[in-house]
Amino acid sequence: MITIQQLSKRFGKLQVLDDVSLTLLGGECVALIGPNGSGKTTLIKAILGMVVPQSGTIFFKGNPIGRQWEYRRDIGYMPQIGRYPENMTIGQVLDMMRDIRKMPEATLDKDLFDVFELHNMLDKRMGTLSGGTRQKVSACLAFMFKPEVLILDEPTAGLDPVATELLKDKILAERSKDKLIVITSHVLSDLDDLATQIIYMQDGRPLFHKSLDVLKEETGADKLGKAIAKVMAKEAAGKGVTV
Amino acid sequence: MNKIVKYVIADLLRSRTVMVYAAALLVLSFSVFSIEDNADKGVVSLLNIILFVVPLVSIIFSTVYLYNSAEFIELLVSQPLKRRTIWLSIFTGLAGAVALAFLVGVGIPILLYAFTPSGIMLLLCGMLLSVVFVSVALWAAVRIRDKAKGIGLSILLWLYFALLFDALVLFILFQFADYPIEKGMIAVSMLNPIDISRILILLQVDLSAMMGYTGAIFRNFFGTGWGMAITTLVLLLWVAVPVCFSTRFFERRDL
């Protein structure tokens, strides 16, 4: 559904994305992992057209995104840090998004809105919300318009355990509907239940792109965390570094 | 586009700064007109304050607003919206709100005390000037990522247009006093929207007699239909050019 070809992005002297080529298909839940500053968020922002790459192309359903904007109708994005106008209330933010996306009320997906019980705090201003509540609003907005692609940047950061489980259930439900879900997270145990494919980014390029099962088989580990640790250890050994 | 304009204006009105600005202008204009008994004298007194305050408030307020709504802009960019639409809507909302505040704050006293050609000209020029400086603020804010630097630049720009430019013009005038530079002065005055407004309003008040030979040349140029048309066009260019450049820059910017 999304094809990335030789994507490169530099911020000043810093090479954030270095010749990235990836193919992401529907029905998969792709976990994008890697150390801080490895280019995960930049890659996501490039897909959303928020960051303009120096070279390379991104194809969305076969069409290059260039400076297009219509394709974003099919993407639900949950940012790492949900930032909203401080003076607007939750209700106003939801209304505004509905207004922008122009979807009939009846076809909206309000599951998360209901399970997170946001209807109790529609009048609260965004500026007064806790980080977790903001995340709930972001999650709600990402899923509300039934997009074909969901891009979730650190979705569980800041959420309480109950909300995390509710969100994970929702992600699993959407995965079974043949949607493409891209998640970045540092909480590997969360990804264990969700991801079907793993992309490991380092220094702006994907080190590997494998399905979770293959990765576990190769490393002989039963958990994603252990598998990644083993890969990293092997990588370090290959470079002649003792861990 | 209209939707975003609506939300920008709603957001601006909630922040109350625009309301305070309108109220301050209202108090200022009323007090000026109640001190001066002659309407034209009132307009001239008000003119000097307005040419100072309006650009300052328009440019600083817009720059601060743009930096503070970085989140809002980021949110909009991730939605299925054209970047050009987002940017132009923000401009329309900001310019509309600031110009409206001016219209309310200065328009009501003018309607009551000085409903004369000079008063109406003051109103029109003030509104256009508000929009010009919103437009300049947009350009400053899009070029510079750092909030403090961006606000610094907009203060510098205001200083340049409100004070430094006139000082430079005076310097040139004295240096070339022996040469016939009157026509050139008209061209030079076009480089500063505040100067254009000042000349346009002063000519309506008939104070041009006090401006000597240059004043007569100005009268000949700005007093005619063509002169007015060109001046209006130049003021509109002062709105359009910065908006145009900032839009082009915003379309390619990383967020």
Residues B210-221: tens digit of each pLDDT: 666 667 777 777
B205 close to B44: Cβ distance less than 8 angstroms: yes
Residue B78: pLDDT above 80?
yes
Per-residue confidence of chain A (243 residues) as pLDDT tens digits?
Answer: 899 999 999 988 889 999 999 999 888 899 999 888 888 999 999 999 899 999 999 999 989 988 788 899 999 999 888 788 887 889 988 988 888 888 888 888 888 988 999 888 999 988 899 889 999 999 999 999 999 999 999 998 889 999 999 999 999 999 888 899 999 988 888 888 888 999 999 888 898 888 888 888 888 888 888 888 888 888 777 765 554
For chain B positions 55-74, those within 8 Å of chain A (CB to CB) are 68-72, 74
B65 close to B12: Cβ distance less than 8 angstroms: yes
Which segments of chain A are extended strands (E)? Answer: 2-11, 14-24, 29-33, 55-60, 63-64, 75-78, 149-153, 180-184, 197-202, 205-211
**Inter-chain touch A84–B72, beta carbons under 8 Å:** yes
Spatial distance between the Cα atoms of B244 and A4, rounded to a whole number of angstroms? 32
In this prediction, residue B211 carries a pLDDT of 65
Spatial distance between the Cα atoms of B12 and B53, rounded to a whole number of angstroms? 19
Question: Which of A7, A96, A126, A141 to mutate: most B Cβ within 10 Å?
Answer: A96
Set of chain B residues whose Cβ sits within 8 Å of the Cβ of A87: 11, 14-15
Q: Give the torsion sign (CA, A124, A126, A127, A130).
A: positive
**Inter-chain touch B254–A11, beta carbons under 8 Å:** yes
In angstroms, the Cα distances linking A210 to A58, A197, A214, B142, B167 are: 20, 6, 7, 41, 68
| Mean pLDDT within B105-115 | 91
* A50 three-class SS: coil
Provide the number of CB pairs (under 8 Å) joining chain A to chain B. Answer: 63
B218 close to B203: Cβ distance less than 8 angstroms: yes
Looking at this predicted complex, what is its ipTM?
Answer: 0.83
In this prediction, residue A243 carries a pLDDT of 46
Spatial distance between the Cα atoms of B12 and B21, rounded to a whole number of angstroms? 12
Q: Summarize pLDDT for B34-55 with one digit per residue, the tens.
A: 998 888 888 888 998 899 999 9
The shortest CB-CB distance from A50 to any of B4, B69, B77 is to B77
Determine whether B172 is exposed, middle or buried from the number of CB atoms within 10 Å of its CB (0-12, 13-18, 19+).
middle
User: What whole-number percentage of chain B has pLDDT above 90?
Assistant: 51
Q: How far is B202 from chain A (nearest CA, A)?
A: 42
